[in-house]
Amino acid sequence: MVTRKEYRIKLVSNELLNNDTCYLGFYCPEIASSAIPGQFVNISAGTMFLKRPFGIASVDREKGTFNIGVKVVGKGTEQIKEFEVGTEVDCLGPLGNGFDFEDYDNFILTGGGTGVFPINFAYETLTAAGKKVTVVEGFRNKNQVILNKEGYVITTDAGDAGIKGTVIAGLDTLNIEDSSKTLICCVGPIPMMKAISSWAESKGMKCLVSMEQRMACGAGICLCCIVKVKDDGPDGYKNVRCCKEGPVFNSQEVIF
Amino acid sequence: MNPLSVNVGKTELKSPIILASGTCNFGRELSEYYDLSILGGMSSKGLTIKPRAGNPGVRVAECASGMLNSVGLQNPGVHYFIENDLDFMKESGAAVIVNVAGHSYEDYVDMATTLAPHKDKIDALEINLSCPNVKAGCMTIGSDPEAIKAITSKLRSLTDLPLWIKLTPNVTDIKATALAAQEGGADAVVLINTLMGMRIDIRTRRPILTNNTGGYSGPAVKPVAIRMIAEASQVLSIPIVGCGGIEDYKDVIEFMIAGASAVEIGTACLVHPSLPVKITEDLNKYCEENSLELKSLTGTLQRW
pLDDT for B137:
64
Lowest mean pLDDT among A52-56, B103-107, B181-185, B282-286: B103-107
Residues 6 or more apart whose Cβ sits within 8 Å of residue B70: B55, B59, B60, B133, B209, B210, B211, B213, B214, B215
Using a CB-CB distance cutoff of 8 angstroms, which residues of chain B are in contact with residue A47? none
DSSP string, A135-176: EEEEESSGGG--S--TT-EEEESSSSSSEES-HHHHHTT---
Span B1-49, pLDDT tens digits: 899 999 999 999 999 999 999 999 999 999 999 999 999 999 999 999 9
| Residue of chain A minimizing CA distance to B69 | A224
Rounded to whole angstroms, how far apart are CA atoms A172 and A13? 37
> What CATH homologous superfamily does B6-54+72-196+217-297 map to?
Aldolase class I (3.20.20.70)
pLDDT for B140:
75
Nearest Cα to Cα of residue B101 among B166, B147, B41: B166
Rounded to whole angstroms, how far apart are CA atoms A163 and A165? 6
pLDDT range class, residue B81, cuts 50, 70, 90? very high
Please state which CATH class domain A7-95 belongs to. Answer: mainly beta
First to last CA, chain B: 34
Using a CB-CB distance cutoff of 8 angstroms, which residues of chain B are in contact with residue A43? none
- Cβ(A211)–Cβ(A239) below 8 Å: no
Residue contact B22–A51, C-beta within 8 A:
no
Average pLDDT, chain A: 96
Please state which CATH class domain A213-256 belongs to. Answer: mainly beta
Residue contact A49–B274, C-beta within 8 A:
no
Residues 6 or more apart whose Cβ sits within 8 Å of residue A54: A40, A41, A43, A68, A69, A70, A114, A117
The burial of B180, by beta-carbon neighbours within 10 Å (0-12 exposed, 13-18 middle, 19 or more buried), is given as buried
pLDDT for B135:
66
Single out the catalytic residue among B24, B131, B138, B287.
B131
Give me the residue spans of the domains in chain B: 6-54+72-196+217-297
Rounded to whole angstroms, how far apart are CA atoms A164 and A154? 9
pLDDT for B138:
67
Span B170-212, pLDDT tens digits: 999 999 999 999 999 999 999 999 999 999 999 999 999 999 9
Residue contact A224–B273, C-beta within 8 A:
no
Q: Is B131 a catalytic residue?
A: yes
The burial of B136, by beta-carbon neighbours within 10 Å (0-12 exposed, 13-18 middle, 19 or more buried), is given as exposed
| Residue of chain A minimizing CA distance to B247 | A49
Span B254-303, pLDDT tens digits: 999 999 999 999 999 999 999 999 999 999 999 999 999 999 999 999 99
Residues 6 or more apart whose Cβ sits within 8 Å of residue B85: B26, B28, B44, B76
Using a CB-CB distance cutoff of 8 angstroms, which residues of chain B are in contact with residue A219? 29-30, 33, 270, 273
List the Cα angle A56/A120/A57 in 5-degree steps: 20
- Whether residue A86 has pLDDT greater than 90: yes
The burial of B284, by beta-carbon neighbours within 10 Å (0-12 exposed, 13-18 middle, 19 or more buried), is given as middle
Q: For helices B222-235 and B249-258, what crossing angle results, to 10°?
A: 30
First to last CA, chain A: 35
Nearest to B67 among A1, A92, A216 (CB): A216
Nearest to B271 among A50, A228, A238 (CB): A50
**Percentage above 90 pLDDT, chain A:** 96
Give me the residue spans of the domains in chain A: 7-95, 99-210, 213-256
Residue contact B54–A228, C-beta within 8 A:
no
pLDDT range class, residue A233, cuts 50, 70, 90? confident
Task: Determine the average pLDDT of the residues in B150-179.
Answer: 96
Residues 6 or more apart whose Cβ sits within 8 Å of residue B118: B82, B86
Residues 6 or more apart whose Cβ sits within 8 Å of residue A211: A190, A193, A227, A242, A246, A247, A248, A249, A254
Span B59-71, pLDDT tens digits: 999 999 999 999 9
Rounded to whole angstroms, how far apart are CA atoms A225 and B70? 11
pLDDT range class, residue B240, cuts 50, 70, 90? very high
pLDDT for B142:
87
Nearest to B32 among A2, A223, A233 (CB): A2
Using a CB-CB distance cutoff of 8 angstroms, which residues of chain A are in contact with residue B65? 49
The burial of B232, by beta-carbon neighbours within 10 Å (0-12 exposed, 13-18 middle, 19 or more buried), is given as buried
- Whether residue A216 has pLDDT greater than 80: yes
pLDDT for B132:
72
- Cβ(B23)–Cβ(B267) below 8 Å: yes
Rounded to whole angstroms, how far apart are CA atoms B221 and B197? 12
**Percentage above 70 pLDDT, chain A:** 100
- Whether residue A135 has pLDDT greater than 90: yes
Rounded to whole angstroms, how far apart are CA atoms B174 and B224? 11
pLDDT for A145:
94
pLDDT for A220:
97
Residue contact A6–B272, C-beta within 8 A:
yes
SS3 content of chain A, % helix, strand, coil (to 5): 20, 35, 40
ipTM value? 0.94
CATH topology of domain A99-210: Rossmann fold (3.40.50)
Cα dihedral value B225, B226, B229, B230, nearest 10: -150
Residue contact A224–B271, C-beta within 8 A:
no
| Residue of chain B minimizing CA distance to A238 | B53
Task: Determine the average pLDDT of the residues in B87-116.
Answer: 96
